[in-house]
Amino acid sequence: MKEFEIAKNLIEKASKITIIQAENPDGDSLGSALALEEILGEVGKEVQLFCPVDIPKYLRYFSGWDRISDNLWPSDLFVIVDTASQILLSKIWENPLYRNLLEKTPILVIDHHTDATPDLEFSHEIILKEASSCAEVIFDFAKNSGFEINQQAAEHLMGAILSDTLGFSTQNVSPETFEIASQLTKLGASTAKIEEARREFSKKSPEILEYKGELIRRIEYFLDGKLAVVHIPWDEIKKYSDKYNPSVLVIDEMRLVEGVEVCVAIKTYPDGKLTGKVRTNSPVAADIAGYFGGGGHAYAAGFRVYEKYDEILRELLVSTEKVLN
């Protein structure tokens, strides 16, 4: 691929590289960032890791998560992983110092969200390939570029793939995904070890389990039970997010309710920001998120807006009904 050649050239020219995650880190972005740190370190690069928000506790089964900084420093190259969406990088873009760095530093974007059109407002090169995960794209790039994937990098890539495919169960898993997983296993990655660590970090305190029950009781159903919505206000975000992401607590449970096609967890913030996490049982998640300027996958997507909850709920009902019909 021509994009691989351009990316390899950018990396070869750089001595100091910073890998950037968006403000919604997940297992794929985290595993991809940590794997790239290993891969680029093997070719003598000085690598830093940056994320504008704290890594959620339930993702801290990835060894090395604590090397990620919330300070962005000058580098020869920035590599943004797992997003090509401006809104998911707004915390960086709205910081004058960081914006200046983005505007004057070469940038490489590596992403797999082909359902959404890249809308970044700064100059960049991009590797955008349809795949199960960003980690799968990074594996292909590394192999095609002759970069070594050591055991630790293989472990991170496998963890990222397992996370984004929900254990190889999503619609975007392909024969190539399993071929890559096989190669990663040969390189020393252990799915059993990764799953054991993930389960340990997924354990919930009695307080969190009680809160999960409260969230479940608050779920509202619309459109003859096809749409399930739960609202998570700021006071609960502030109280519980450091212990467990409230939306992650319930959204998969919502998807398992009989008759539900679309489930949305909506968080509201004091600055007027509202975020929506969309999960679906039919391939419409990206379409619904796109109605609000967001994006993602066919079955998992998200959006962020600055509107009142009641107004967004009304718009969500309209957009979901249109998409389902």
pLDDT at 45: 98
Question: What are φ and ψ of residue 183, in 5° steps?
Answer: -65, -40
In terms of Cα–Cα distance, which of 144, 123, 142, 18 is closest to 81? 18
Domain limits, CATH 3.10.310.30, in the chain: 206-324
Q: Give yes or no for residue 210 having a pLDDT over 90.
A: yes
pLDDT at 223: 97
Integer Cα distance of 199 and 192 in angstroms: 11
Compute the average pLDDT of residues 56-69. Answer: 95
Compute the average pLDDT of residues 73-78. Answer: 98
Compute the average pLDDT of residues 280-286. Answer: 93
Q: Give yes or no for residue 144 having a pLDDT over 90.
A: yes
Which pLDDT band, with edges at 50, 70 and 90, does 278 fall under? very high
Average pLDDT over the chain, rounded to an integer: 95
In terms of Cα–Cα distance, which of 262, 269, 266, 226 is closest to 246? 266
pLDDT tens track for 287-319: 999 999 888 888 888 999 999 999 999 999 999
Question: What are φ and ψ of residue 116, in 5° steps?
Answer: -110, 145
Q: What is the pTM of this model?
A: 0.90
Among the ranges given (107-121, 178-192, 250-264), the one the predictor scored with the smallest mean pLDDT: 107-121
Tell me the H-state helices in 43-122. 90-93, 96-104
Domain limits, CATH 3.90.1640.10, in the chain: 2-199
How far from the centroid of its chain's Cα atoms is residue 159's Cα? 13
In terms of Cα–Cα distance, which of 178, 148, 169, 149 is closest to 31? 149
**Which of 3.20.20.70, 3.10.310.30, 1.10.10.2160, 3.30.60.50 would CATH assign to domain 206-324?**
3.10.310.30
Q: Among residues of the chain, what percentage have pLDDT more than 90?
A: 86
Strand bridging mode 262-268 / 274-280: antiparallel
Which pLDDT band, with edges at 50, 70 and 90, does 146 fall under? very high
Domain 2-199 part of CATH 3.40.50.720: no
pLDDT tens track for 224-268: 999 999 999 999 999 998 788 899 899 999 999 999 999 999 999
